[in-house]
Amino acid sequence: MRALPAACLPPSATVRVGFSGGLDSTVLLHWLKHTLPADAVLHAIHVHHGLQAEADTWATHCRVLCADWGIPLQIEQVRIADRSRNVEQQAREARYAAFERRLQAGDTLALAHHGDDVAETLLLRLMRGAGTEALGNMAERETRAGYHLWRPLLGFSRAELLAYAQAHALAWVEDASNADTGPDRNFLRQRVLPLLESRFGNVRARLNHSAALLREDADLLRPLLDDALVMCRSEAGLSLQPLRALTPALQGHVLRAWLQRAGHTAPGAEALREFLRQLAEHTPDDDTRLDGPGYRIALWAGELHLRPDADAADIAAFDQLWDGRTPLRLPRGGELAWAGEAPFPLRVRYRLGGERIRLPGRDMHHSVKKLLSERVPPWERAALPFVYNDDGELLAVGDVLVSAVLDDLSRRHGIRLRWHPAASPT
């Protein structure tokens, strides 16, 4: 086997290793301990997801090993809130968020990705219809907001890391879930890559070479994308008018780059193409949006806004009778309350579609969807409570839309319905 280099020069003096306790990160931590310059500072960060029954045992293993090696260890506990969605993606996002909480300005985050990871990621992203920049996937060195990302093992295979670990009598933990071919990455690792290897030979090296060429292509595209992003950026996100002035192909590249630089996974080609079609044909009352893992792109007032996905745990069946005596806390955040004495019980639910309301000074009922499209950004509409009387008449939508009936009642009795939305994410 090839030996790991006898010396290495990190991007900065303080290096924090993402340390799971598995083979790859154990090799990385051991190698850095013995090869970093004398003035370098080495720390380890273990992220405790709690997804496996052995998670506590793994954390203990990391603590003992780091104590033996004299390396300071920080353990970050995270929680995966919604296990009905892509758990692997959520775990990855939680892991990076945990790392960033521990990083200081200028620090280096060292990760144990190796050549097999590059090959697997390329195949995964091909299956999802990803673009050039995403297909190039992992670079050895990246500069992110406030820190450096370093992957010094990319030139080595997992087999070479295993040989290193055995030669140095290292101990590591094994995640039994890696044998489960349900997750896509495990399926590629256990089934697809061995089959390709039997047919073509040296397939991981071939895929790594293709990824490197795609990274070169992405580097050539980057100045063009940077200029296009500057032209399209607005205070809120991206401005629709200059985006639509670009060619369709460049529009897709700009959206992918915008998402990736915000730390999100870009959608596949088909989803992105459909979203661009909707942007080209949208009308003001359309709820034009693109949902991705953990985020949502919504169109409002001629601008694209990137928002956290607040609707992952939808509560469509909410329907509650409220006496109004105390504030009503709602499942999607925020609360309803009366300023003054509650006049009568109300029924509260979320939007079902097709609702109409008669506003003060109007003779006709109007579409709630149309009215909200003019007044409320799309990502805020799902949390608005719809308030009805016993006859099933819509009296209010939060306090954004108040019917003529409720307005008259409020004026006569000196009361007012108040809607206090949940605090906006920062």
- Write out the binding residues: 20-25
Counting Cα atoms < 13 Å in the Cβ hemisphere of 391 gives 4
Q: In Å, how far from its chain's centre is CA 224?
A: 25
Helix or strand run (H / E) with residue 170: none
CA distance 71 to 214: 37
* b/e map 48-60, b = 16+ CB within 10 Å: bbebeebeeebbe
Q: Which residues are annotated as a binding site for ATP?
A: 20-25
Residues 380, 375: Cα–Cα separation, whole Å: 10
The candidate with the shortest Cα–Cα distance to 419, out of 379, 371, 386, is 386
Amino acid at 46: H
Determine the angle formed by the axes of helices 115-127 and 203-232, rounding to 10 degrees: 60
Quickly count: other Cβ atoms within 10 Å of residue 118's Cβ: 25
Compute the distance between CA of residue 59 and CA of residue 52 in angstroms, rounded to an integer.
12
CA 159 to chain centre: 31
Say which residues have a Cβ less than 8 Å from residue 235's Cβ, sequence separation at least 6.
none
Radius of gyration of the chain from Cα atoms? Answer: 27
Rounded to a whole number of angstroms, the distance between the first and last alpha carbons of the chain is: 49
Per DSSP, the three-state class of 358 is coil
Six token digits for residue 87 = 């758990």
The partner residues of 297 in beta bridges, in order of sequence, read 290, 306
Residues 6+ apart with CB under 8 A from 328: 320, 322, 335, 336, 337, 348, 385
Alpha-carbon distance of 310 to 314, in angstroms, equals 9
Locate 206 and state its tokens: 């071939």
